Amino acid sequence: MRGKLVVGNWKMNGGLAANAALLGELTSGWIGTQGREVAVCVPYPYLMQAQAALAATPIAWGAQDVSEHAAGAYTGEVSAAMLVEFGCRYAIVGHSERRQHFGDTDEVVGAKARAALAAGITAIACVGETLAEREAGTTESVVLRQLDAVLRAVAGEAPKLVVAYEPVWAIGTGRTATPEQAQEVHATLRQRLRAAGAGTVSLLYGGSVKADNAKTLFAREDIDGGLIGGASLKASEFLAIARA
């Protein structure tokens, strides 16, 4: 369903006291509106805290990754079934930091998306090119390769995905894609999703989104919202983005 969605990715940040303050400010500041959803993806140990703070609010929560395996000898991994027990609605898969630092391949990302969807969790599948890939003119082929791996893995379940375009060169750098650059890639992704029978998937943009650039990005035809890293750690900034 092509709804408007803004998701915070806390990354490996937080602590019980700081989270309580942030979650408190978010819940007191956000009034949900029809067709617009807000969620935060928190580190695994804080899922229970997020669940307790957000369960009675319009704000959803989720995880930043999920195992492609169901159970067993996978030390350090967390399964989709476990995330369900903590009320997760979302799981990010294929974030560029996972691809870069933890070796998540396109195939692994696809398997993670499949595992999430099979458990009833919406996988937020991230795609995006590096600066070198953009400069080499391969942006389109890179993001389509990444998206195709997810589409192959989830097959007929593709309409249940959310897809996030996050140019690697814009993540945490303060350098945002222009609305035109972002829209161009989103249109390409939308076309591929349509061909897979999933044209109504929400397509998020991520990469140094702030309160002052969110509106112009979100105004573009194929941009349905954002995946927000650094700016999601400050309630006033994140809420301003969500309102945009």
Binding site for ligand PEP (CB under 6 A): 9, 11, 166, 171-172, 206-209, 227-231
Smallest gap, in angstroms, from Cβ of residue 56 to ligand PEP? 27
Q: Considering beta carbons, is residue 22 or 196 the nearer one to ligand PEP? A: 22
Helix (H, G, I), strand (E, B) or coil at 90: strand
Residue in the shown chain whose Cβ atom is closest to ligand PEP? 229
Q: Which is nearer to ligand PEP, 46 or 196 (CB)?
A: 46
Helices 179-195 and 139-154: crossing angle in degrees, nearest 10, is: 40
Query: Would you say 110 or 206 has its CB closer to ligand PEP?
Result: 206
Residues 10/50, Cβ–Cβ less than 8 Å: no
Q: CA-to-CA distance for 165 and 210, rounded, in angstroms?
A: 16
CB of 63 to ligand PEP, least distance (A): 14
CA dihedral 112, 144, 162, 195 (to 10 degrees): -110
Min dist. Cβ of residue 130 to ligand PEP (A): 14
Nearer to ligand PEP, 53 or 92 (CB): 92
CA atoms 192, 196, 198, 202: torsion sign:
negative
Shortest separation between residue 70's beta carbon and ligand PEP, angstroms: 27
**C-alpha to C-alpha distances, 92 to 175, 176, 179, 240, nearest whole angstrom:** 22, 20, 23, 22
How near is the Cβ of 196 to ligand PEP at its closest, in Å? 24
d(CA 13, CA 40): 12
| Residue 155 beta carbon to ligand PEP: minimum distance, rounded to whole angstroms | 26
Q: Give Cα separations from 5 to 46, 85, 155 (angstroms).
A: 22, 23, 23
Of 39 and 227, which has the nearer Cβ to ligand PEP? 227
Return the sign of the alpha-carbon dihedral for residues 23, 43, 200, 179: positive
Please say which residue, 179 or 206, places its beta carbon nearer to ligand PEP: 206
- Nearest C-alpha neighbor of 173 from the set 222, 231, 233: 231
Tell me which residues are annotated as active site: 95, 166
Question: Which of 42, 21, 37 minimizes the C-alpha distance to 242?
Answer: 37
